[in-house]
Structure formats: structure tokens, C-alpha cells
Amino acid sequence: MKAFQVKAPHDYQVTDIELPKVAAGEALVRVAFAGICGSDMHIIHGDNAFVRFPRITGHEFAGVVEAVGEGVADDVVVGDRVCIDPVISCGHCYPCRIGRPNVCSSLAVIGVHRDGGFEELVAVPAANVHQLPDHIGLDAAALVEPYTIAANVLDRMQPHPGDRLMILGAGVIGLTILQMALAKGIKEVIVTDVINERLAAAKQLGATQVFNSREQDVEKGVLALTQGEGVPLIADAACVPALLPQMLRLASPAGRIGLLGFSIQPSELVQLEVIKKELTLVGSRLNNRKFPEVLKLMASGQLDPLTLVSHRLPLSDMPSAIDMLDHRPEEARKVLIKIST
Ligand code: MN
Ligand code: ZN
């Protein structure tokens, strides 16, 4: 069968591999659509310390169950339309015991630590499989995972009714946070970016205020908008370490800042800013069992996943999709790879 395999950093191809074996407790899924994520790009470029090569990447995918292994309960059967939570946790380490399996001490992520969705058939733990409501397409279902990132960071930031939210970055993750925030009842959302097309998309999806941080003085604008108080919720979907000092300045007293970046570059942090306003800085990694919540919001029409899709390409076009994301990222939003139907 065909698979997109990363043999080593910068060395990747669509190639023929053997069919995966289905172990006990696993389901074999025929992948319909898989989305390309920034973190796939990091693996391809050798910027992911966790990955072992060769690897078939892809952690955003949906498809149809083709077979099940021994001992799989009958809530997962052949023919089921499903999407897959990429988080595999041990269940008994400290974070697992306190209900934080997404930072399990021996975390395994489908598409990072084991093979993922950029192949025709993928074996996954049946426990990670989520059934799709009838009217959610397999294309939209490949976008459930990015929305779980949004649901997770918002959950970590503990919004209060009436809180204003600021999102740095209007790429795919920024736009999923925007939609998720509106769906959860946050009414005022400020979005910043450096690309006007992205800000227009944010506006169209319901952002109440947008700033081009290259053309406008964001700090002045946001402080004017909030009568100098600052913003209680700030989500960092720009993931530029140098922006942390500005986030600290723009947060209101008692504000919460949700960080999603994977950079190893240090950020400058002025302790006084944190202490005098008693700010809370939270990291958010992957998702903590957010698939059911996202599927429910998607099924009720409160999320609009297909607006995020800019390209649909066959698996054979993976190398050219990577080239586009590397060299002309402004042309793309979510790139969906159509693998089988
Ligand atoms: Mn992703
Ligand atoms: Zn664990």
C-alpha cells in the first residue's frame, strides 16, 4: 500500500510499504482524509526531538474501520466511520492519575511516536477511535483534532462569563481557537496577525476586532479598547517566543495566558509583570479527551471546519504540498490529503 514516509529529516517520499498488522485491541482504519499540520513539518525538518525514524506522520485523520484485532469490544466494528485521537497514555503515571493523560510520562502520539495517517491503512488502538455522527463528512472529521487543540487551550485558561479573548496568530490554530471560543460563548475576540488575508478570515469567522501587528500598534489599540485594563484571556497561536513580553503587558490583572508554541528559544519574562497582576501562564499540549466535545459542537453546526481547508490533494502530491507550505505558506490554510474514499 501507499504511504508517505519520512526516512530521516529532509528525506521523505511516497512509497509502497507492507500492510500494517493489527494487534489485539487495535482497529485497522482505511484513511479517507489526513490534514497536514505544522508539527508534521517540524518532523520533516528534523525539529521534533520525540520522533524516531523512519516514520509515517499524520495525526489529523479520519476514515473507515476495515478490520479489528482480538479483544476489541463491539462498539468499534468494520464499516464504522471514525476519527482518531492521537494521544496514547499509560493510565498509571502521575499525570494520568490526576486526569492529565495528554502529558503522560510515557506519552505516545500517533503520527509522531508511532505511524500515523498518511497511509492507506493505519492500525490504531480501538480506544482512540471516535465514531462520527452521520452528517459529519470524513473531510470535516480530519479537522476534529485541530479543534481539540483549541478546546484544550481554552479549557486550560478557564474562561469566565464575559471574558474578552485575544488570539495571537490567525493561522489554522488561531482560527480554530476563534471558532471554539465563540461556540463556547465568548463574545469578544481580538485577533492579531501580520497577514491581512488571515485577518479577513478571522473577521469573517466572527472576530470582533483584528489588528495587523506589522501595520498597527497592537498594544496601544488593545489598551484603548479595554480602557487600559488589558485582556483577561490571551491565547498564543503565533508561537513566536519574542511575543511573550507583549502578552504579559497586554494581560489584565488576574489574566490567563495560554501557550502552544514548541520553540526551544527562550522567552524573556519580567517577573514583576506576572506578580503584580497575578497572571497565570499555562501550557497546552495536544488534547485531554476533547474529541467528544468537538464532535458535538461540529455536529450541531457551531464549528465550520471546511472554511479552514485551502487545498485537497492526493497522497502522491505530498512532496509538492510540503514545498508549498515551506516556501509559500501564505497560500495555504489547512491542506487535506485525500487518501482513499
Ligand atoms: Mn496538528
Ligand atoms: Zn501515563
Cell 467528544 -> residue: 292
User: Measured in angstroms, how far is the CA atom of residue 26 from the centroid of ligand 2?
Assistant: 19
User: Measured in angstroms, how far is the CA atom of residue 88 from the centroid of ligand 2?
Assistant: 9
User: Measured in angstroms, how far is the CA atom of residue 287 from the centroid of ligand 2?
Assistant: 14
Q: Are 142 and 62 in contact (CB under 8 A)?
A: yes
Q: Would you write out the chain's pLDDT as a tens digit for each of its 341 residues? A: 999 999 999 999 999 999 999 999 999 999 999 999 999 999 999 998 889 999 999 999 999 999 999 999 999 999 999 999 999 999 999 999 999 999 999 999 999 999 999 999 999 999 999 999 999 999 999 999 999 999 999 999 999 999 999 999 999 999 999 999 999 999 999 999 999 999 999 999 999 999 999 999 999 999 999 999 999 999 999 999 999 999 999 999 999 999 999 888 999 999 999 999 999 999 999 999 999 999 999 999 999 999 999 999 999 999 999 999 999 998 999 999 999 96
User: Measured in angstroms, how far is the CA atom of residue 173 from the centroid of ligand 1?
Assistant: 8
User: Measured in angstroms, how far is the CA atom of residue 222 from the centroid of ligand 1?
Assistant: 29
- Give the C-alpha distances (Å, rounded to integers) separating 169 from 7, 8, 95, 142, 160: 31, 30, 29, 22, 22
The ligand that comes nearest to the alpha carbon of residue 40 is: 1
User: Measured in angstroms, how far is the CA atom of residue 16 from the centroid of ligand 1?
Assistant: 25
Q: Name residue 339's amino acid.
A: I
User: Measured in angstroms, how far is the CA atom of residue 145 from the centroid of ligand 1?
Assistant: 7
Map out the domains of the chain with their CATH numbers: 2-142+304-338 (3.90.180.10), 148-283 (3.40.50.720)
Q: Are 117 and 60 in contact (CB under 8 A)?
A: yes
User: Measured in angstroms, how far is the CA atom of residue 204 from the centroid of ligand 1?
Assistant: 23
The ligand that comes nearest to the alpha carbon of residue 99 is: 2
The ligand that comes nearest to the alpha carbon of residue 104 is: 2
User: Measured in angstroms, how far is the CA atom of residue 288 from the centroid of ligand 1?
Assistant: 14
